[in-house]
Amino acid sequence: MNVFSGMIAHDYEQVIFCQDRTSGLKAVIAIHDTTLGPALGGTRMWNYETEEAAVEDVLRLSRGMTYKNAAAGLNLGGGKAVIIGDARTDKNPEMFRAFGRYIQGLNGRYITAEDVGTTVEDMDIIHQETDYVTGISQAFGASGNPSPVTAYGVYVGMKAAAKAGLGTESLSGKTIAVQGVGNVAYHLCKHLHEEGAQLIVTDIHQPSVKRAVDEFGARAVDPTEILQVDCDILAPCALGGVLNEDTLPMIKAKVIAGAANNQLNTNEDGERLQQMGIAYAPDYVINAGGVMNVADELNGYNRERAFKKVETIFDNVSRVFEIAKTEQIATYRAADRMAEERIERMRYSGGKFLQNGYHILSKR
Ligand SMILES: NC(=O)c1ccc[n+]([C@@H]2O[C@H](COP(=O)([O-])OP(=O)(O)OC[C@H]3O[C@@H](n4cnc5c(N)ncnc54)[C@H](O)[C@@H]3O)[C@@H](O)[C@H]2O)c1
Ligand SMILES: CC(C)C[C@H](N)C(=O)O
């Protein structure tokens, strides 16, 4: 495994390997870019088949957080962590405490939160060792589980995507196909049902499907069918890579707007979507509600302020469609451009010597 070539390719700042024999912790923290501020991103716990796969994932996800935080207008950089192991069988409190001490050792360069396989309870254990953790329990005056807030952000972002792709932001009467009805999509379906959308759902976990059918009158289909059903909007809310050269020809939706990270398998798939005339809301712009919510904890959590911030996702998604239209480029490129411009402006401005409280000279 050649870690440095991977780091140099997209200019990663730091990768930290953490090991604790007693608890079985094997973790990798990747800090991609801290131009806008300390790196904030969740910790994923996943049973990776190889260590290379874990490193690849943490690199890809941490860079995604740089773009997500920048496009969301947060003064935060991008980072992410992965813990290698089965989230259902391999967790123990000592593991998360050891991990918390590693985070504390970074002195604020990296701040963690939930991601796939980790929970509020895990964040609370990390919090026993460090303050550089968000998404901790509401009992601490913090924000708790980010999934319902992510869902609300996807809902308002979907309205902006519908305006661009269907000419109306109303989702009433629209047929919406949802792939994966887990933590985020359950709450998304609730908003969509309340607005009067017709739902088609699938999941590999049958109780989740049953809940959506029972509570929202959703029509269930097999996981192999969801991408090809007749619908107005497709919401990928399971795992990444679902929009690829094999699946794109099947898709009948005019709009794609969902919560999953890394929906496009490659950038070429983003170009294909543009050629097909499908209005694609870039994943990291529409699913930023969770990070917006946990980031508010850094200011002393205020739920009302956090939700106001999450509502800006409507404007952020609209802006992406505007850039794409004006520049005649695919929406994923428009989103990257929006994020990169913000980072580059700060990099340029931050490159000027201006005395501030953090500068070494001020401590003499
Ligand atoms: N939780 C958050 O706040 C948040 C924030 C931003 C992005 N995301 C992203 O949103 C997505 C969903 O997150 P979540 O927290 O709801 O996770 P989750 O694990 O609760 O839900 C995912 C669901 O997808 C199902 N699934 C997996 N593979 C499937 C397949 N092939 N076909 C159908 N269903 C399948 C799972 O059974 C599960 O119910 C993930 O990609 C995550 O990275 C989550
Ligand atoms: C900070 C977390 C709530 C981030 C979330 N896991 C995401 O991918 O956006």
Tell me the CA–centroid distance for residue 69 and ligand 2, in Å: 10
CA 344 to ligand 1 centroid distance, Å: 32
Whose C-alpha lies nearest to ligand 1, atom 11? 260
Could you tell me the CATH superfamily of domain 147-342?
A: NAD(P)-binding Rossmann-like Domain (3.40.50.720)
Residue 2 has a pLDDT of: 86
Return the beta strands (E) in 47-151 as ranges.
77-84, 110-111
User: Across-strand partners of 245?
Assistant: none
pLDDT digits (tens, 9 = 90+) for 306-353: 999 999 999 999 999 999 999 999 999 999 999 999 999 998 887 666
CA of 5 to the centre of ligand 1 (A): 30
Q: In the CATH hierarchy, which top-level class contains the domain 3-66+78-137?
A: alpha beta
| Spatial separation of the C-alpha atoms in residues 187 and 150, rounded to whole Å | 9
Give residue 1's pLDDT.
76
Q: What pLDDT score was predicted for residue 358?
A: 57
Which portions of the chain are predicted below pLDDT 70? 351-364
Residue 185 assigned ligand-binding role:
yes
Which ligand ends up closest to the CA of 154? 1
Per-residue model confidence (pLDDT) at position 163: 98
- pLDDT at site 354: 60
Pull the structure tokens for residue 136.
């901790």
Which of 103, 115, 147, 285 should be mutated for ligand 2, with most atoms under 8 A from CB? Answer: 115
- What whole-number distance in Å separates Cα of residue 197 and Cα of residue 316? 23
CB 235, CB 179: distance < 8 Å: yes
Distance CA 234, CA 252 (A): 9
Measured CA to CA, the distance from residue 18 to residue 102 in angstroms comes to: 7
Name residue 40's beta-bridge partners.
78, 111
The pTM for the full model equals 0.94
ipTM associated with this complex: 0.98
Q: What is the reported pLDDT for 348?
A: 84
Residue 289 to residue 306: CA distance in whole angstroms: 9
- Cα distances from 126 to residues 45, 94, 156, 342, in angstroms, run 14, 9, 32, 31
Every domain of the chain and the residues it spans: 3-66+78-137, 147-342
| Two tokens, residue 304 | 């009302």
